[in-house]
Each structure stands twice: as structure tokens, then as C-alpha cells.
């Protein structure tokens, strides 16, 4: 049986207790996540994203299976978490730059070579961060979030994760996008390649977010998307309206 078939079979059993064979299966699954061999969502050749629900089910299985354990690094620095989700065993050979200062990557997250992690930052399980991206200080990459190549997550950017429901798209930031400082991207939002999200804005939600499209971008939720041609736009949930662009171009304003 494939890894997918074995994970689906185990999750369907809804056990209260798990033995060594089940834990070994989960360890194999978590390793595949960490290596980027499987992921919570994938982009097809037509540009459409598809959820891998079985991967999300496997991640949730790890939480059910796990036992609270002491993960303290020092007697004065105490941590307690499920034993199925320790800190990711990153090595120099991984080619990931982790600047000292309180950052943490959970095991089961894929972080590609060339990624830069500025302190402090956090990457949760199931996240996928592709080559050359930067996770700036105080930034969060939530569970199952998909981050493309050469993406810049500015300081204090919050990329929410969507682990449940298992069939829902996670937050997706495509290649070469820039998420401004203090910007929040939540609830299955899809940001297309080379888009720029202005600092301090959240999407989706009741408040508008300003989006700068160098080429094109799509932002929305799993139930509706708004497509933007090049230019500057004001965005609210499923509706968008153009905002006057300053003469001579220039960077987008952070005002709504």
C-alpha cells in the first residue's frame, strides 16, 4: 500500500490508542512532509490549486496520536508539546539560513534551500516554504500555508494556516510576491505571483486591503476570488474596486 493509502486507512479507524507500528507510519509521513515529498496543496498545470485532504488528515492524526512531553532546551527555558511534533531537525546541509534569536520550525514543515529566517519567526507543521524566500522578524507561517519561490514575508507578517476543514484550501502565496510588514493573510486567501500586499492590511475580512499587481494577482477565499490586472486596487472580501493610482507610478500607498 502507498503512504497515502496507509494514512487514510489509519485515520479512518479513529483509535484511542496507537502502538509502535502506527507511530512508525506517522514518522514516515512526517519525514515526507519535511522533505517536501508530499504537501497539503499543489498547483496544477492550469494554475489551479488542489487540496490534498489526506495530508491534512495525516497531520491531524499526529495531534491525536501525540503525548504531551517535556521539550525543554534548558531548565530555565521550558517547553511542553506533543511528542509527535518536535522541532524540525535542520542541519547545515539543508542550506537554510536561520539567524540566531529565538526562531522555531516545527517538524513536518518543508523549508527549501536558500530560505532566510530572521529572528524571531515561526513555521508551523504542514507549511511549505520554497527556495529563496525570506521570513522576516516576528513573521508567522501557519500550518499548511504554501509559500512560493522568492517570496518576501516582511516583519510581523501573519500568514494564517488552514488545517481544518481538511478539504479547504490553505493560505497560498505564489512566487515573488511581497507581503508587507504587519500584513495578515488568512482563511484560505490566494495571492498570485508577483503581487504586493501593502503594509498593515489584512485579507480577507471586513477591512479593505490594498493590493499592488506587478503583472496580475488573484486574492480571495475558497468560495470566491477577485482577479486584478496590473495596477493598484482596494480589496474587500469578494469585491474589488479600483483606487486612483498616483501619477508617475511609484509605490502603493498604505492608506485604504
> pLDDT tens digit string along 192-245?
899 988 888 776 533 444 444 544 454 544 444 455 555 545 454 433 333 333
CATH number at residue 28: 1.10.166.10
pLDDT at 99 over 70: yes
Asked whether residue 157 is assigned to any structural domain, the reply reads yes
> Looking at the structure, do residues 105 and 39 belong to the same domain, yes or no?
no
Asked if residue 158 is part of any domain, the answer here is: yes
Would 75 be classed as within a structural domain? no
Report if residue 73 sits inside a domain: no
Question: Which is nearest to 37 in space by CA: 63, 86, 3, 9?
Answer: 3
Average pLDDT, the chain: 84
pLDDT attached to residue 235: 52
Question: 102 lies in which domain range?
Answer: 92-242
Does residue 141 lie in a domain region? yes
Q: Is the CB of residue 172 less than 8 Å from the CB of residue 145?
A: yes
116 and 176: one domain?
A: yes
In a domain, 72, yes or no: no
**Cis ω on the peptide bond leading into residue 120 (within 30° of 0)?**
yes
Domain count, the chain: 2
Q: What is the DSSP letter of 37?
A: S
Q: Based on C-alpha coordinates, what's the Rg of the chain?
A: 19
The C-alpha atoms of residue 174 and residue 206 are separated, in whole angstroms, by 23
Residue that finishes a domain, picked among 67, 100, 115: 67
116, part of any domain: yes
C-alpha dist (Å) from residue 76 to 11, 72, 79, 87, 167: 37, 8, 10, 18, 41
On whether both 155 and 53 belong to a single domain, the answer is no
Q: Who contacts 247 (Cβ-Cβ below 8 Å, separation ≥6)?
A: none
Cβ(190)–Cβ(172) below 8 Å: yes
Amino acid at each position: 500500500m502507498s503512504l497515502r493509502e496507509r494514512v487514510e486507512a489509519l485515520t479512518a479507524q479513529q483509535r484511542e490508542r496507537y502502538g509502535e507500528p502506527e507511530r512508525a507510519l506517522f514518522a514516515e509521513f512526517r519525514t515526507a512532509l519535511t522533505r517536501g515529498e508530499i504537501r497539503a496543496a499543489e498547483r496544477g498545470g492550469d494554475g489551479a490549486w488542489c487540496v490534498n485532504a489526506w495530508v491534512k488528515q495525516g497531520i491531524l492524526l499526529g495531534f491525536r496520536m501525540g503525548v504531551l512531553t517535556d521539550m525543554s532546551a534548558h531548565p530555565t527555558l521550558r517547553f511542553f508539546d506533543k511528542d509527535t511534533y518536535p522541532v524540525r531537525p535542520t542541519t547545515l546541509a539543508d542550506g537554510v539560513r536561520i539567524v540566531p534569536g529565538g526562531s522555531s520550525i516545527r517538524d513536518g514543515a518543508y523549508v527549501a534551500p536558500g530560505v532566510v529566517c530572521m529572528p524571531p519567526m515561526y513555521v508551523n507543521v504542514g507549511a511549505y516554504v520554497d527556495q529563496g524566500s525570506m521570513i522576516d522578524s516576528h513573521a508567522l507561517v501557519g500550518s499548511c500555508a504554501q509559500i512560493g519561490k522568492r517570496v518576501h514575508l516582511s516583519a510581523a507578517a501573519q500568514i494564517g494556516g488552514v488545517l481544518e476543514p481538511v478539504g479547504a484550501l490553505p493560505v497560498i502565496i505564489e512566487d515573488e510576491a511581497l507581503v508587507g510588514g504587519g500584513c495578515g493573510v488568512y482563511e484560505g486567501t490566494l495571492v498570485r505571483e508577483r503581487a504586493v500586499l501593502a503594509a498593515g492590511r489584512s485579507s480577507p475580512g471586513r477591512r479593505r486591503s490594498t493590493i499592488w499587481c506587478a503583472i496580475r494577482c488573484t486574492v480571495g477565499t475558497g468560495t470566491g476570488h477577485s482577479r486584478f490586472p496590473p495596477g493598484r486596487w482596494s480589496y474587500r472580501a469578494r469585491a474589488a474596486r479600483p483606487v486612483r493610482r498616483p501619477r508617475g507610478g511609484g509605490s502603493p500607498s498604505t492608506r485604504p
